[in-house]
Amino acid sequence: MLAKIEKGIQWTVIAAGVFLLSGLIGQVFLTLPPNSFTFLTGREGGAYFLDSQHYKKIAEEKGFIVNIVPTAGSVTALQMLEEGKGDVAFVQGGVAAQGNPEIVSSLATVAFEPVWIFYRLGLSPETPLDTLPQLKGMRIGIGEAGSGTNQLARQLLRDAGIDDNNTTFLELPASEAHDALRDATMDVAFLVTDTESPALRDILVDKDIELVDLRHADAIARRHRFLTVLTLPEATLNLVNVSPPTDIKLLATEANLVVR
């Protein structure tokens, strides 16, 4: 079922691998020790880490040695790249644009990454949660410090008048979001990831957790040009139970392959 989601909202990373690695070799390897490079990713088990394994396999088949280094996420990875602690990294859209153009450059966009906003069933019994201002005062999981999710969630919430002064921000990695929602220690969770993420898959099949259909997605995307709007069609998750019951609008950013 989730493969159907991917068809509508994700470019195939593996298929692009050979082409992108050819460009990477041309732009990066002239300045590296022979046949080796360091790939900065997100946390182990996350989408960026899993995608990097595909690139590692392709590169090693071409005779290169690939050292994969997990990080807290896009913000940390970009900083490490600029400091010379890596040669290539997956960096979330919006974050990539903050890089020093004299040191790093974006080689290609490899995937769309939806911004998934989940909340506990029954949290808003009278009206559905469909706008960001409604989240004020709640306990919101915004992703680990140093991650692109954390930076983007703070930016979107700040636009809606929400910050640390009026709301509790929980800086937890995506892998802990599901349990926190289930245990009612978190009300809302932001995840920015493609559908390969195990953390996302677990939440999507949980009947006690709702996905926000963001009513003002188009307006938000106009404010931030690195965002776009995608649609999760009705019944994509479950045809029998018709889940979701209606089309759902999602914001999305891009995953970029950034090189030093």
Whether 259 is in a domain gets the answer no
d(CA 251, CA 170): 21
**Can you give the pLDDT at residue 13?**
41
Tokens representing residue 31 in the block: 């300045």
**Mind listing the pLDDT tens digit for each residue in 3-29?**
444 444 443 343 444 455 555 544 554
**Can you give the pLDDT at residue 61?**
85
In whole angstroms, how far apart are CA 170 and each of 153, 181, 186, 190?
A: 11, 12, 8, 10
Number of domains in the chain: 2
189 and 149: one domain?
Answer: yes
Final residue before a domain boundary, out of 92, 112, 132: 112
**Can you give the pLDDT at residue 21?**
52
CB 135 within 8 A of CB 162: yes
DSSP 13-64: HHHHHHHHHHHHHHHHGGGSSTTEEEEEESSTTSHHHHHHHHHHHHHHHTT-
246 and 140: one domain?
Answer: yes
**Mind listing the pLDDT tens digit for each residue in 179-233?**
999 999 999 999 999 877 888 888 988 989 999 999 999 999 999 999 999 999 9
188 and 228: one domain?
Answer: yes
Final residue before a domain boundary, out of 93, 112, 131: 112
**Mind listing the pLDDT tens digit for each residue in 36-76?**
889 999 999 888 998 899 888 888 888 889 999 999 999 99
92 and 173: one domain?
Answer: no
151 and 106: one domain?
Answer: no
**Can you give the pLDDT at residue 35?**
81
d(CA 167, CA 170): 10
**Can you give the pLDDT at residue 53?**
92
121 and 71: one domain?
Answer: no
134 and 153: one domain?
Answer: yes
Query: Of 215, 182, 213, whose CA–CA distance to 117 is shortest?
Result: 213
**Can you give the pLDDT at residue 20?**
54
Q: What does the pLDDT average to over 115-122?
A: 94
The residue range of the domain holding 74 is 2-112
**Can you give the pLDDT at residue 1?**
43
Report pTM.
0.85
User: What's the whole-number average pLDDT of the chain?
Assistant: 86
Domain containing 249 — which CATH number?
3.40.190.10
**Can you give the pLDDT at residue 7?**
41
Domain containing 85 — which CATH number?
3.40.190
d(CA 257, CA 110): 7
Lowest mean pLDDT among 106-115, 218-227, 245-254: 106-115
Longest dimension (CA), the chain: 62
**Can you give the pLDDT at residue 165?**
97
121 and 62: one domain?
Answer: no
248 and 122: one domain?
Answer: yes
**Can you give the pLDDT at residue 14?**
39
Please determine, for residue 30, whether its predicted confidence score (pLDDT) is greater than 50. Answer: no
229 and 198: one domain?
Answer: yes
**Which run of H or of E encompasses 152?**
helix 148-159
**Mind listing the pLDDT tens digit for each residue in 162-177?**
999 999 999 999 999 9
Final residue before a domain boundary, out of 79, 112, 145: 112
d(CA 88, CA 105): 10
Whether 258 is in a domain gets the answer no
CB 228 within 8 A of CB 243: no
d(CA 175, CA 31): 36
